[in-house]
Amino acid sequence: MTGDLERDLGLYATVTISMGAMIGSGIFVLPALGLAKAGPAVILAYVLAGLVVLPAALSKAEMATAMPESGGTYIYIDRALGPLAGTVAGIGAWFSLVFKSSFALVGLGAYLLLLVPLSDGLVKIVALGLAGAIVVLNVVGTEQSGKAQSVIVTAVVLALAAYVLNAGVAVDTARFQPFAEKGASGVVTAAAFVFVSYAGVTKVASVAEEVEDPGRNLPRGILISMGVMMVVYALVVAAVVGLNDADVLTTSGPGGGPSLTPMADGAGGLFGGVGVVVVAVVAVLALTSMANAGVLASSRFPLAMSRDSLAPVALSRVSVRFKTPRNAIVATGSVLLALIAFVPVVELAKLASAFQILVFSIVNVALVVFRASGVESYQPTYRAPGYPYVQVAGVVGGLALLTQMGTFPILGAVGITVGGIAWYLVYGRPRTDRKGALAVLLVRRRGDEPTTSD
C-alpha cells in the first residue's frame, strides 16, 4: 500500500523545479539592493551566499533521502530536534517563503509597470491583485505543471544567457571600479541580503515524496541546481553592474531606494534596442512562476505542522471540492497579502533572507544531531560529505551573515524564534509528546539505555 504514492519527477524535473524556485526575485529584483551595500563586489556577495547555503543544501539532500516526505525542512528539524525546534523552524520556513513570494510579487508589479506605463504608485496594487489571483489559482487547484515549469525555466535560463552574452559587449568596465568600495563587510552584508536567492532549493525537499529514485535524484538535483545558479547569478549580476550607473541604480526605486528592476534598467541597448521589453517579459514570466511556486510550497509547512499536531487540524484538511489543502493555502495567502500591503519591499527582502539564514543554520544542526544520535530509523541513501566540518561551517557562516544584517532583520529572526517557542508552549506541547533524535542523543549521553525515537 505504501508503494501506491506516485513518484513521477525525474532528475531533469527535479533540477528545474529547484532552479525554477530560485530564479526570480534573487536575480531580477535584488541586485540593486546588493549593489547599494557592496558596490561592484556584489558579484562576490552572490557567490558567498551560495557557499554559505551549500552546507545546508547538502544536509537537506541527505535528510531528504532518509525522509522523503512533504514539508521537508520542517520535517527534518522536527524529527531531529523535537517539536519545539520543529515549531520554530516550521514557522520560520513558512514566513521566509511567504516573505520571498511577497517581494517577488512587488518586483513583478514593478516590471509589469515597465511594460504597461501606469503610475509608479500602483506597484503595490498590481502586486496585491496578482497575489490574489495566484492564491485563488492555488485554491482551485492546478494540474501538475512540471512540464510547463521545465519549459519556463529553460526559457528563462536561455534568456539570461543571451542577456549575459549581449551585455558582455556592451558593458562599461569602468563601472567595476572601485571593486570592493564598501569593503569586506559590505560584501558580507550584501551576501546576507541576497541569501534568499538560493532559498528555492528548499522546494526539492518539500516535494521529495514525488521524486523518482530519490536516493540519487535528490542530492544530484540539489547540487546541480545550486551549482548552475551560482554561475548564473555571478554572470548576470556582473552584467547588471557593468550596464548600469551605480548611483542611478541605487536610487531609482520606490521612495528613492534601490531599483526593483535592475535587470531592465540598463538593458535599453541590448537585444537590438528592445532590451527593456524583452527583459521585462522574461522577468514577469520568472517572477510569476516563482510567486506561484512559493505559495504552493509555503502552504505545505502549515499542512505538515498540522499533521504533527503543532498547528490547528483545519490546516491539513484537503478540500473535498477542490482537492487542495484550501485552508493552508488561504492562511498563507492572507499573510502574503498583508505583507505586500503593509511592509516596505526592502524590509520584505531582508526579513526573507534573515529567516532563511536562521532556518538553514538549524538544518545543519539537525543533520549533526541525526548522525550523532545513531537513531536506527534514520537511514539516508546519500551521505553528505565533510561531516561535521561542513555543517559547522554552515552554522558559523549563517550566524556571521545574520549579525551583519542590521537591527531590524535580527530582531525579526529573534522575534520568530521567541514567537515559535511561545506557540509551541501554548499549542503544540499539550498535544504531542513526540521526541526528536536529540532526545535520544541526550539520553544516551546521560548513560541510560538508548532507545529509538519512534
Please report how close the Cβ of residue 306 comes to other proteins at its closest, in angstroms: 9
DSSP code of residue 9: B
Measure Cα distances from 326 to 185, 208, 250, 320 in Å.
Answer: 44, 21, 40, 9
325 binds other proteins (CB under 8 A): yes
Cβ-based neighbour number of residue 324 at 10 Å? 17
User: How far from chain centre, in Å, is Cα 21?
Assistant: 7
Distance between CA atoms of 105 and 75, rounded to whole angstroms? 28
Nearer to other proteins, 303 or 348 (CB): 303
Nearer to other proteins, 279 or 304 (CB): 304
* Phi-psi category of residue 323: left, alpha or beta, with phi > 0 → left and psi -120 to 50 → alpha: left
Q: Single out the residue of 150, 309, 324, 381 in contact with other proteins (rule: CB under 8 A).
A: 324
Distance between CA atoms of 174 and 197, rounded to whole angstroms? 27
Nearest CA-CA partner of 253 in 342, 100, 120: 120
Lookup: cell for 133? 489571483
Q: Which residue has the cell 534568456?
A: 159
10 binds other proteins (CB under 8 A): no
Please report how close the Cβ of residue 87 comes to other proteins at its closest, in angstroms: 19
User: What x/- string results for residues 191 through 220 when contact with other proteins is judged by CB under 8 A?
Assistant: ------------------xx----------
Please report how close the Cβ of residue 139 comes to other proteins at its closest, in angstroms: 8
64 binds other proteins (CB under 8 A): no
Q: Which residues are registered as beta bridge partners of 9?
A: 211
Lookup: cell for 9? 519527477
309 binds other proteins (CB under 8 A): no
Distance between CA atoms of 264 and 241, rounded to whole angstroms? 12
User: What x/- string results for residues 257 through 296 when contact with other proteins is judged by CB under 8 A?
Assistant: ---------------------------------------x
Evaluate whether 349 touches 101 at the Cβ level (below 8 Å): no
Lookup: cell for 55? 552546507
323 binds other proteins (CB under 8 A): yes
Evaluate whether 62 touches 368 at the Cβ level (below 8 Å): no
DSSP code of residue 318: P
303 binds other proteins (CB under 8 A): yes
5 binds other proteins (CB under 8 A): yes
Q: Single out the residue of 14, 18, 59, 70 in contact with other proteins (rule: CB under 8 A).
A: 70
Residues 136-155 contacting other proteins, CB under 8 A: 138, 141-146
Please report how close the Cβ of residue 251 comes to other proteins at its closest, in angstroms: 40
Q: Which residues bind other proteins (CB under 8 A)?
A: 1, 3-6, 8, 69-71, 138, 141-146, 209-210, 296, 299-300, 303, 307, 316-318, 322-325, 329
